[in-house]
Structure 1
Amino acid sequence: MFENLTERLTHTLRSVTGQAKLTEDNIKSTLREVRMALLEADVALPVVKEFVNSVKERAVGTEVTKSLTPGQVFVKIVNEEMVKVMGEANEKLNLAAVPPAVVMMAGLQGAGKTTSVAKLGRHLREREKKKVLVVSADVYRPAAIKQLETLAAEVEVDFFPSSADQDPVDIANAAIAHARIQHHDVVLVDTAGRLHVDEDMMGEIKRLHEALNPIETLFVVDAMTGQDAANTAKAFNEVLPLTGVILTKTDGDARGGAALSVRQITGKPIKFLGVGEKVDALEPFHPDRVASRILGMGDVLSLIEEAEQKIDKAKAEKFAQKIKKGKGFDLEDFREQITQMKNMGGMAGMLDKLPGMGQLTQAASAANAEKGMHQMEAIINSMTAMERRKPDIISGSRKKRIAKGSGTQIQDINRLLKQHKQMSKMMKKFSGKGGMTKMMRGMKGMLPPGMGGGPGGMGGPGGFPGM
């Protein structure tokens, strides 16, 4: 998400960052570029106008002109105003109600509503430690009921059965009554979607809302529809008292117009981002972190949180102890590191959150870094247990067998073995005295030229395949 906008803005702002003096003219020129970048990202025109005016008002004042580093202060202002547009801080779900807290989901068909119900259920169960019940009041699409049942089992939350011949209000009321008896903390109610906003749909959803009086009414909208997402949310908000928005399919949206328009147009906060198809691909929306990512400054906090959630702590601890004792780094360990990286959203997903890595993310994607990781995994899987433990025994004939089994070439096997050897050397340094400093130096050497690294690193021979 935001790839195009990030590229345009970082290029534009780079031209002012190092300037010793900023004048009204070059501020105007930069803001013109910023305005074009936002419009190309499909940000709604009223939002663009207000944003540019706010930045201009602050930038041509003493805040910038009297500063010792005017260019950097200008970028800081752009960052702060962007955060303001998106809503200052993350707004959590309000579940402060006599259990069960009822959360109603609304939205158009195809926006990813049913999947978002399951993702939110998983999030509440895992991160908030809530007992969750999900129910489908979508009587127009019987497949939606079955879909929610399947997803509920996958994310390990309770499912309340319903059928197409029932009234949506009756279904929801029965689910809430069941939740009270079974001591559920939260009931998530999936509602019917339509292909467009119409009177029948609005009438039914309004009736359902009045009957349930939910503590949260979340509007689920597809980020790829750009500023239309904000306009649709506004139409719903005129009928329903929305409390927040879930922006889905943000992994497929390179522009980011919806994220920057929704809050300003609807007055409602974005509470979550759907960042992929998997059931764990839901992130709380932090405006400050998103603004930082848009401006190419990374989002290390989200990366740390993701690591805490997705990395197997027992395996990580076992691996750390093994390296500390100097027991070596074999290909089983290498495969485990690839798996952990995939769990973190792959190479592109991780680089996207690291400062200054915006362009590298695109390069990694273009060069099929993910394909390279899958290829490495296939090669290691085609080895025997002994070969994985003792890579030095892999002779020419063994390489031929492994290449045939993994559908790769002998040079791919050689590249992987070379890379493993480099990482083994780095791990040996890590196990000794002053290991962390040595390891960081080693990692710096694996970066591409221009980012502190040199030939032979990730950007050269022996680096990650495909990069």
Structure 2
Amino acid sequence: MLENLGNRFQDIFKKVRGHGKLSEENIKEALKEVKMSLLEADVNYKVVKDFIKKIQEKAIGTEVLKGINPGQQFIKIVNDELVELLGGTNSRLTKGVKNPTVIMLAGLQGAGKTTFAAKLAARLRKEGETPYLVAADVYRPAAMKQLEVLAKQINIPAYIDEGNKDPIDISKKAFGQARANNYSYMIIDTAGRLHIDEHLMDELGDIKKAVRPQEILLVVDAMIGQDAVNLAKNFNDKLSIDGIVLTKFDGDTRGGAALSIKSVVGKPIKFVGVGEKIADLELFHPERLASRILGMGDVVSLVEKAQEVVDEKDIKSLEEKIKTQQFDLNDFLKQLQTIKKMGPLGSILKMIPGMNSDLGDLAPAEKEMKKTEAIIQSMTLQERKKPDILKASRKIRIAKGSGTDVSDINKLLKQFSQMKNMMKMLSSGKMPNLGGGMPMGIGRGKNKFF
């Protein structure tokens, strides 16, 4: 998502560096390229025009602060305006005074409302809430069944009444059940259409009157680009929505929707769907997305992802093992599995400052991770603790068990030895000489991550 735009910004910033002052002359070309980059990313023309004007007003004549170069100062100005364009701050769900707080989902067919309903319910439960799912899509074949299956999958109660073809009645009865059981949130999955029509809007308006939702969230497919902005505007005019959810945010999109919606519609993006799994839902943070676009990574999100999958006791145990030189292949396997839980390798690496662009094809790196995992899992516990006992016969057995070659095992053992040496030097306060790349193949070249 937005990778091409990020690469373009990096090229633009390079051209601004080297000047003692940000003048109209030395940023004219940069602003022209910023404008073209945003338009190519399908950002609304008026939004782009206003964005460029604000940057120009702030940048021209600005003295370069001591200790930073013009390129860095220009990045700061662009970053601040980009954050503002994206909404300024994160906008969270609000909660009603009494249970249940009703969240009504709206959107066109195929936008991903049903899947988002389940993702949101799972997220709310993780935050200590008691969510209740309601299947109010009476038109799409198997829509109710889909929500029922997802609800069972995540073990969250749902109101399913396949015999009832009145979504308003369904919503009313579900509200009664939610109140009786004191559920804190009720999430209504409404019907979508292939296009906006009066019947759809009237029906949504009737559900709104019947259950008085705390929030109406419009679920939009991010991959439809500028059409997502027009869609949001139409729904907002008819329903007065409270926020927007962009699904398929991890897809091959140009990013125009994310960069235009808040400015054009005046409503915040609240969530983004970043994958097909239930856990693949993120709060929308304007400052973090701006940072990713400008190639500065997203360390905060990276830490949050790590905290979700890493136990504090495991961290302390690992620190102790590194200090006492007891780190073994079993510990290394745990670290690999932790990385896998955090999500796709590409998504993780893009959160690291300086790693946002030119990652290349990560499939070989992902393959190497799986291969390493298979090799270690084919070892006995004793072999994982004491790799030195791995002689020829043991390596042949492990190779057969993991579907790899003995050369792969030798390579892993060599890299693991290098990593242990580096850990030893770090724990003793010495800085290791990394040469052309870090142990385990982690370097700057393409695919040199494992």
Which of the five TM-score ranges fits, normalised by the shorter chain?
over 0.9
Equivalent residue number for residue 392 of structure 1:
388
Cα distance, 1:18–1:355 mapped onto 2, change above 3 Å: farther
The structural deviation recorded for 1:163 is: 1.1
Equivalent residue number for residue 59 of structure 1:
59
Cα distance, 1:257–1:411 mapped onto 2, change above 3 Å: farther
- Secondary structure at the residue paired with 1:398? helix
Cα distance, 1:404–1:196 mapped onto 2, change above 3 Å: farther
Cα distance, 1:66–1:304 mapped onto 2, change above 3 Å: closer
Instruction: Please tell me the residue identity of whatever aligns with 2:76.
Output: K
Cα distance, 1:131–1:28 mapped onto 2, change above 3 Å: same
Deviations 1:59-91 (A, max 9, x none): 22x4x2575544332221111111111111001
For residues 40-55 of structure 1, the aligned pairs below 5 Å read 40-55=40-55
- Secondary structure at the residue paired with 1:255? coil
Equivalent residue number for residue 308 of structure 2:
309
Equivalent residue number for residue 356 of structure 2:
358
The structural deviation recorded for 1:455 is: 8.8
* Alpha carbons 1:371, 1:466 under 8 Å: kept: no
Query: Counterparts of 1:265 and 1:460 in 2: how far apart (Å)?
Result: 40
Instruction: Please tell me the residue identity of whatever aligns with 1:200.
Output: H
The structural deviation recorded for 1:153 is: 2.9
The structural deviation recorded for 1:424 is: 2.5
Instruction: Please tell me the residue identity of whatever aligns with 2:16.
Output: V
Deviating beyond 6 angstroms after TM superposition, the runs of 4 or more aligned structure 1 residues are 463-466
Which of 418, 443, 447 aligns to 1:459? It is 443
Equivalent residue number for residue 372 of structure 1:
368
- Secondary structure at the residue paired with 1:357? coil
Which of 425, 435, 448 aligns to 2:421? It is 425
Equivalent residue number for residue 250 of structure 1:
249
The structural deviation recorded for 1:464 is: 7.8
For residues 281-320 of structure 1, the aligned pairs below 5 Å read 281-320=280-319
Cα distance, 1:142–1:319 mapped onto 2, change above 3 Å: farther
Query: Counterparts of 2:443 and 2:319 in 1: how far apart (Å)?
Result: 27
For residues 111-190 of structure 1, the aligned pairs below 5 Å read 111-127=111-127, 129-163=128-162, 165-190=164-189
Cα distance, 1:162–1:18 mapped onto 2, change above 3 Å: farther
The structural deviation recorded for 1:27 is: 1.4
Say whether residues 1:24 and 2:10 are aligned partners. no
Which of 327, 338, 341 aligns to 2:339? It is 341
The structural deviation recorded for 1:392 is: 1.8
Instruction: Please tell me the residue identity of whatever aligns with 1:213.
Output: R
| Root-mean-square deviation over aligned CA pairs | 2.4
Instruction: Please tell me the residue identity of whatever aligns with 2:408.
Output: D
Aligned residue-pair number: 448
* Alpha carbons 2:418, 2:439 under 8 Å: kept: no
Query: Counterparts of 1:55 and 1:306 in 2: how far apart (Å)?
Result: 33
Query: Counterparts of 1:456 and 1:321 in 2: how far apart (Å)?
Result: 21
Equivalent residue number for residue 223 of structure 2:
224
The structural deviation recorded for 1:353 is: 0.9
Which of 434, 439, 443 aligns to 1:445? It is 434
Cα distance, 1:465–1:29 mapped onto 2, change above 3 Å: closer
Equivalent residue number for residue 105 of structure 1:
105
The structural deviation recorded for 1:317 is: 3.5
* Alpha carbons 1:223, 1:253 under 8 Å: kept: no
The structural deviation recorded for 1:454 is: 6.5
Say whether residues 1:12 and 2:1 are aligned partners. no
* Alpha carbons 2:378, 2:398 under 8 Å: kept: yes
Structure 1 regions of 5+ residues with no counterpart?
none
The structural deviation recorded for 1:21 is: 2.8
Query: Counterparts of 1:411 and 1:460 in 2: how far apart (Å)?
Result: 24
Structure 2 regions of 5+ residues with no counterpart?
none
* Alpha carbons 2:22, 2:64 under 8 Å: kept: no
* TM-score scaled by length of structure 1: 0.89
Instruction: Please tell me the residue identity of whatever aligns with 2:434.
Output: G
* Alpha carbons 2:442, 2:449 under 8 Å: kept: no
Say whether residues 1:94 and 2:94 are aligned partners. yes
Which of 408, 416, 441 aligns to 2:412? It is 416
The structural deviation recorded for 1:179 is: 1.2
Cα distance, 1:288–1:456 mapped onto 2, change above 3 Å: closer
